Amino acid sequence: MASIKRKWDLLSEEKRSESIRELTSFFKTQRDEEIGMIAAESILDHFLQSVGIELYNKGVEDSITLLRGRFETLELDMDSLLKK
């Protein structure tokens, strides 16, 4: 059965399955509660929908900041190669 991919769900199928297993394990070990796969999927979907895009955007913004710094360094290196 093909699953529906929502725009806020940025996880691969493997990572999604792993996250669901981790959620059920967390509830069992840390909270002494048994939750099923459907409940774990709902919890995961809630957090992906509420903070997933913000986390993704933060990663992109951090990458942009890193690249800007590297380009500034590259520009300085290229300037030092100019013959005066």
Residue 44 contacts residue 37 (beta carbons within 8 Å): no
H helices present in the chain, as ranges: 13-30, 37-47, 53-81
Domain assignment present for 40: yes
Count structural domains, the chain. 1
Domain assignment present for 8: no
Most distant CA pair in the chain, distance: 73
Name the average pLDDT for the chain.
90
Average the pLDDT over 67-80 and give the result: 91
Is the predicted pLDDT of residue 1 greater than 50, yes or no? no
Domain assignment present for 6: no
Q: How confident is the model at residue 2 (pLDDT cuts 50, 70, 90)?
A: low
Domain assignment present for 77: yes
Domain, as residue range, for 29: 13-81
Domain assignment present for 48: yes
Domain assignment present for 31: yes
Domain assignment present for 3: no
DSSP structure class, residue 31: S
- pLDDT at position 3 is 65
Domain assignment present for 1: no
Determine if the pTM surpasses 0.85.
Answer: no
pLDDT above 70: percentage of residues in the chain: 95
Q: Using CA atoms, how far apart are residues 45 and 3, in angstroms rounded to an integer?
A: 13
Question: What are the pLDDT digits (tens) for 20-49?
Answer: 999 999 999 999 999 999 999 999 999 999
